[in-house]
């Protein structure tokens, strides 16, 4: 298929200083959790982006010196020449497909604890570290500033030596040293680098000039700059100093990469933002410079992309998350395969990997992070190893993904789903406030299954062991999901909460189905992921009084990893929910409950007409065990293998269920990715001889 001419504009080449991008698709710098600890994995991931059609492919943050050491989180490092090969490897893979390679040089200043290097963190003035109470950051003297500029220049030269086409100066996300100099709340200096804006911007200007000198005309110079901190008058605002900085530096870089700060605003989830959510501020940049501009906004629709270019908001479509969810997004537009685009759902599971210091994962794209380690490719699957039929029981994320991949491999597949609709938990959860985009997990897979003639789907088909036996497929996969417990057993309570069996006690599904209609409703969240906070919001939407009790210090604690926690807790408080943190639910009685302090054990009575327990889930594994434990029955039914995937194996995130379904289907009848007991390739440290 060929591309729709309406999208031609997206494929125009654009000049960036001395280099030219073949199109307007720009994978902006984004973390992968791989960095210099997993250089092969990093290079393979970036290479697949280039193969997928992105005109520019950038690294994540690249630390220029041990004074900016963010370990155990792994980003890239260009501390000395021994780091160059990590980059050269990625450059080779990116250039192979005709894309430009961008390197984002960074120094985290007072945002880095330097836990490994054990060097005092650097800041414009003496102050507390941004993320850790200790060590405090040290105010830089003029010698430190000169040294910092030298390190940056040296790193820029190394980037060019490695083959970079674009070299970045990084001043965004509120975690960059030049940004710390720019912001009066961090910069309390009274010399030529402090005080009026012209002084606070001095270091950034110098870095741009130094970097230009270091790279010459061998590479383009880019500036990543956050034009607004979304803090109103307490921070940098586009209408004030944000705009002034762009005006002052307008023609210095060859490219402006603009966004909002901090990271929670830049990578805002779909629960709290729409596609194009940064346009209100970044759209003003183009009028102030003749240089090309790139920005992000979770753009997945080619029509939106065309609008952004034609209306003069940007010259490039910048993407981090849309590129993670579908590395082949540009190619699919180019080949007229719009329906095949796997759209990002804006859930930030990708971010969670980085924060936990492990390689990236994605709810939509199970391949990401596995490009090198398991040699997976998003557009190809191994051919089938037999003509055996596979029966998949359950059409949630795990079952759908397994059916899709097995189908693409050429197996005859039957997918049986109990409900009237496919999607499992995604179908329920996408109806919760702000989660409509999550339905894309289901809808993309249904779209792909509809193109396969060898996959039969049966709805309203609850299969028991007799049905499975009678069906006669040699391979049976249970993707039957899990069920929320109703006894209160979870992280904190390892045995039933007294009163949990009462008629006033409900599970999440009752709230989703609208069966909880009287307040006050007490939600006990001992799951700590998203569900407790989401149900609270849904009940508030239904105009019920909500009391949320959690043993954690934070509501929906897991969401610190998806950058949403503060937004969730703020929203619940603003809407009048009563929050009891660091409290356990000890007893449920008619009309009220008892909660106790984590530390003193002191009990308090709380009024509650209804109670919703959000604690743990149990796998729906009963039918599986009728076979797995009975080889005689399997033989009788001619079943060769029986397996469990997704939540049915162990309740987890949707991302994990999709990955599990993919892993099963890709490795079914095929060579496993790893060797022996290790299921994947590992990157090894090289011992010095």
Give yes or no for residue 563 binding ligand SF4 (CB under 6 A). Answer: no
Give min distance, CB of 396 to ligand ADP, in A: 2
Dist. CA 488–CA 474, nearest whole Å: 39
Footprint of ligand SF4 on residues 229-268 (CB under 6 A)?
Answer: none
Q: Which is nearer to ligand ADP, 104 or 429 (CB)?
A: 429
Q: Which stretch binds ligand SF4 (CB under 6 A): 195-203, 319-327, 459-467, 574-582?
A: 319-327
Give min distance, CB of 214 to ligand ADP, in A: 50
Dist. CA 63–CA 113, nearest whole Å: 13
Size of the site for ligand SF4 (CB under 6 A): 14
For the question of residue 315 being annotated catalytic, the response is no
Per the rule left: phi > 0, alpha: psi between -120 and 50, beta: everything else, 396 is beta
Q: 343-372 mask for ligand SF4 (x: CB under 6 A)? A: -xxxxxxx-----------xxxx-------
Q: Give the active site residue among 257, 266, 526, 527.
A: 266
Q: Which of ligand SF4, ligand ADP, none interacts with 395 (beta carbon under 5 to 8 A by kind)?
A: ligand ADP
Q: Which of ligand ADP, ligand SF4, none interacts with 348 (beta carbon under 5 to 8 A by kind)?
A: ligand SF4
Which runs of E-coded beta strand occur in 84-210? 100-106, 122-123, 138-139, 166-171
Tokens 């080619």, residue?
302
Give min distance, CB of 632 to ligand ADP, in A: 22
Dist. CA 22–CA 10, nearest whole Å: 10
Q: Which is nearer to ligand ADP, 415 or 540 (CB)?
A: 415
How many helices, marked H, and strands, marked E, lie in the chain? 23, 28
Residues 6+ apart with CB under 8 A from 74: 33, 34, 35, 36, 37, 38, 357
CA 642 to chain CA centroid, Å, is: 32
Burial class (CB in 10 A: 0-12, 13-18, 19+), 687: exposed
CA 38 to chain CA centroid, Å, is: 18
Q: Which of ligand ADP, ligand SF4, none interacts with 55 (beta carbon under 5 to 8 A by kind)?
A: none
Binding site for ligand ADP (CB under 6 A): 393-399, 416-419, 424-425, 461-463, 479-482, 620, 623, 646-648, 657
Q: Which of ligand ADP, ligand SF4, none interacts with 398 (beta carbon under 5 to 8 A by kind)?
A: ligand ADP
Give min distance, CB of 385 to ligand ADP, in A: 24
Q: Which is nearer to ligand ADP, 227 or 415 (CB)?
A: 415
Q: Which of ligand SF4, ligand ADP, none interacts with 142 (beta carbon under 5 to 8 A by kind)?
A: none
Residues 6+ apart with CB under 8 A from 90: 39, 42, 43, 46, 47, 59, 101
Dist. CA 389–CA 608, nearest whole Å: 52
Q: Which of ligand SF4, ligand ADP, none interacts with 289 (beta carbon under 5 to 8 A by kind)?
A: none
Measured N-to-C along each axis, helices 531-541 and 565-574 cross at an angle, to the nearest 10 degrees, of 30
Q: Which is nearer to ligand SF4, 344 or 469 (CB)?
A: 344
Give min distance, CB of 323 to ligand SF4, in A: 8
For the question of residue 31 being annotated catalytic, the response is yes
Peptide bond preceding 587: is omega within 30 degrees of 0, i.e. cis? no
Q: Give the active site residue among 173, 180, 475, 662.
A: 173
Please name which of 321, 323, 164 lies closest in space to residue 254, comparing C-alpha atoms.
164
Q: Give the active site residue among 65, 69, 86, 170.
A: 170
Give min distance, CB of 666 to ligand SF4, in A: 19
Q: What would you measure as the largest C-alpha separation in the chain, in angstroms?
A: 85
Dist. CA 89–CA 36, nearest whole Å: 12
Q: Which is nearer to ligand SF4, 130 or 268 (CB)?
A: 268
For the question of residue 186 being annotated catalytic, the response is no
For the question of residue 168 being annotated catalytic, the response is no
Tokens representing 595? Answer: 């909660």
Contacts to ligand SF4 by CB under 6 A: 321, 324-325, 344-350, 362-365
């Amino acid at each position: 298929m060929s591309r729709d001419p309406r999208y031609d504009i997206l494929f125009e080449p654009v000049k960036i200083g001395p280099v030219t991008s073949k199109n307007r698709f720009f994978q902006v710098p984004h973390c992968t959790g791989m960095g210099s600890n997993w250089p092969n994995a990093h290079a393979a991931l970036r290479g697949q982006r280039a193969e997928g059609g992105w005109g520019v492919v950038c690294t994540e943050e690249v630390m220029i010196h041990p004074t900016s050491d963010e370990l155990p989180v792994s980003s890239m490092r260009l501390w000395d020449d021994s780091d160059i090969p990590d980059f050269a490897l990625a450059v080779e893979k990116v250039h192979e497909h005709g894309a430009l390679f961008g390197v984002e040089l960074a120094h985290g200043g007072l945002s880095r604890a330097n836990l490994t290097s054990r060097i005092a963190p650097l800041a414009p003035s003496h102050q507390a570290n941004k993320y850790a109470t200790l060590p405090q950051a040290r105010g830089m003297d003029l010698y430190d500033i000169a040294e910092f500029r030298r390190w940056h220049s040296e790193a820029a030269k190394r980037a060019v030596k490695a083959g970079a086409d674009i070299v970045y100066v990084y001043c965004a996300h509120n975690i960059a040293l030049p940004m710390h100099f720019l912001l009066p709340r961090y910069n309390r200096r009274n010399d030529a680098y402090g005080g009026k804006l012209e002084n606070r911007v001095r270091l950034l200007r110098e870095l741009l000039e130094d970097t230009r000198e270091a790279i010459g005309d061998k590479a383009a110079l880019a500036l990543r700059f956050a034009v607004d901190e979304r803090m109103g008058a307490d921070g940098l605002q586009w209408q004030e100093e944000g705009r002034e900085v762009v005006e002052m530096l307008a023609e210095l870089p060859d490219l402006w990469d603009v966004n909002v700060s901090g990271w929670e605003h830049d990578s805002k989830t779909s629960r709290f933002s729409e596609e194009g959510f940064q346009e209100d501020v970044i759209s003003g940049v183009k009028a102030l410079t003749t240089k090309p501009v790139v920005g992000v906004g979770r753009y997945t629709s080619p029509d939106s992309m065309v609008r952004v270019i034609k209306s003069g908001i940007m010259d490039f479509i910048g993407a981090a998350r849309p590129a993670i969810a579908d590395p082949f997004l540009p190619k699919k537009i180019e080949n007229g395969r719009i329906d095949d685009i796997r759209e990002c759902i804006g859930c930030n599971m990708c971010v969670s990997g980085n924060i936990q210091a492990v390689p990236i994962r994605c709810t939509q794209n199970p391949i990401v992070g596995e490009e090198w380690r398991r040699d997976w490719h998003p557009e190809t699957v191994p051919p089938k190893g037999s003509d055996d039929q596979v029966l998949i029981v359950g059409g949630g994320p795990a079952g759908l993904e397994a059916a899709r991949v097995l189908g693409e491999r050429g197996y005859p597949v039957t997918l049986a789903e109990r409900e009237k609709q496919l999607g499992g938990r995604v179908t329920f959860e996408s109806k919760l406030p702000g989660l409509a985009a999550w339905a894309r997990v289901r809808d993309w897979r249904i779209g792909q299954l509809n193109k396969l003639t060898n996959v039969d789907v049966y709805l309203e088909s609850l299969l028991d062991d007799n049905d499975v036996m009678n069906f006669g497929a040699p391979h049976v996969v249970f993707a039957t999901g899990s069920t929320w417990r109703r006894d209160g057993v979870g992280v904190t309570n390892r045995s039933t909460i007294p009163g949990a069996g009462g008629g006033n006690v409900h599970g999440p599904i009752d709230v989703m189905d609208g069966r909880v209609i009287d307040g006050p409703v007490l939600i006990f969240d001992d799951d700590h992921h998203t569900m407790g906070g989401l149900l609270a919001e849904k009940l508030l939407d239904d105009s019920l009084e909500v009391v949320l009790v959690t043993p954690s210090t934070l509501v929906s604690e897991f969401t610190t990893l998806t950058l949403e926690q503060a937004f969730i807790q703020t929203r619940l408080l603003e809407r009048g929910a009563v929050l009891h943190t660091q409290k356990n639910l000890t007893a449920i009685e008619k009309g009220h409950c008892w909660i106790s302090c984590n530390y003193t054990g002191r009990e308090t009575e709380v009024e509650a007409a209804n109670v919703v327990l959000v604690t743990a889930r149990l796998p729906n594994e009963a039918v599986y065990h009728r076979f797995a434990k009975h080889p005689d029955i399997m033989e009788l039914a001619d079943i060769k293998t029986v397996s469990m995937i997704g939540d049915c194996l162990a309740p987890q995130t949707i991302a994990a269920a999709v990955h599990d379904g993919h892993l099963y289907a890709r490795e079914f009848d095929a060579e496993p990715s790893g060797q022996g007991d290790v299921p994947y390739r590992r990157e090894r440290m090289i011992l010095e001889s």
